[in-house]
Amino acid sequence: MAKIDMGRSRFKIQRRLGVELPGLGKAGALERKPYGPGQHGMQRKKLSDYTVRLVEKQKVMFNYGLRESQLRNYVKKSKKIKTASWVDTMIVSLESRLDNVVFRLNWAPSIPAARQMVSHKHIKVNGKTVNVPGYQVQPNDVIEITDTGAKSGNYLQSKTRPRISSIPASLTKETVGEKEKATMVSKPLPEDIPFAFEKRLVIEYYWKVK
């Protein structure tokens, strides 16, 4: 898949994968229709081993809003680091992305919205504007929202209806004046991934990638 088409219904994506993906920003996808989309969605299907692994990989890809080529790059880089399981290393890297951090701080209603805020220069790291969504936030980095960002529709919407009720333990947040400021106090944990996830299946899907 060369490109993620977010014009597709985010509800349908989550129903097809059988899990709510907070990064897509649409809650309640499985509440009324906890089955796949389409006229045959309620029928039980026997999935091949490949399809089961593919679905698990797609959970990661869709939640973080990545293209297949981008996710493969994370896999390749993570496999070069031998201090931990490569899939754990990959999750920590994905959770450390600036667009994800902005989303997990409840400053944006979805990761695509957070990516837009970063690209529009509404976010600062250590006092400097950063407009690269994939920027890796490090422990002790201070993340701030600009005056313009604090007035944006994405920020105001997330304050009114936060997508996730609590922030990860790796982040702390405080209010300074009328704005919020946050610090990454430690690296995210692999367990911080905000949806049901089977690591083994992703390991098996990418076993050939070097």
Residue-wise pLDDT for 152-170, tens only, equals 999 999 988 888 888 999 9
Convert the pLDDT of each residue in 73-92 to its tens digit.
Answer: 999 999 999 999 999 999 99
Clarify whether residues 124 and 145 are in a common domain. Answer: yes
Secondary structure class of 172 (helix, strand, coil): strand
pLDDT, tens only, 24-33: 987 776 766 5
Whether residues 132 and 165 share a domain: the answer is yes
Question: According to the model, what pLDDT value does residue 135 have?
Answer: 98
CATH number at residue 139: 3.10.290.10
Note whether residue 92 is domain-resident. no
Considering the entire predicted model, what is its pTM? 0.87
Query: What's the pLDDT score for residue 26?
Result: 73
Does any domain span residue 88? no
Range of the domain at 179: 97-184
Give the separation between CA 30 and CA 39, rounded to whole angstroms. Answer: 16
pLDDT per position as a tens digit, 28-78: 767 665 554 444 444 556 779 999 999 999 999 999 999 999 999 999 999
Tell me how far apart the alpha carbons of residues 27 and 203 are, in angstroms, rounded to a whole number.
Answer: 28
**130 and 69, same domain (yes or no):** no
pLDDT band at 118 (very low <50, low <70, confident <90, very high): very high
In this structure, which amino acid lies at residue 183?
T
SS3 130: coil
21 with 72, same domain? Answer: yes
The predicted pLDDT at position 134 comes to: 98
Given a cut of 70, is residue 4 above it in pLDDT?
Answer: no
pLDDT number for residue 68: 96
Cα–Cα distances (Å) from 140 to 11, 105, 125, 185, in that order, read 36, 15, 10, 5
Whichever domain contains 63, its CATH number is 1.10.1050.10
Q: Output the pLDDT for position 44.
A: 55
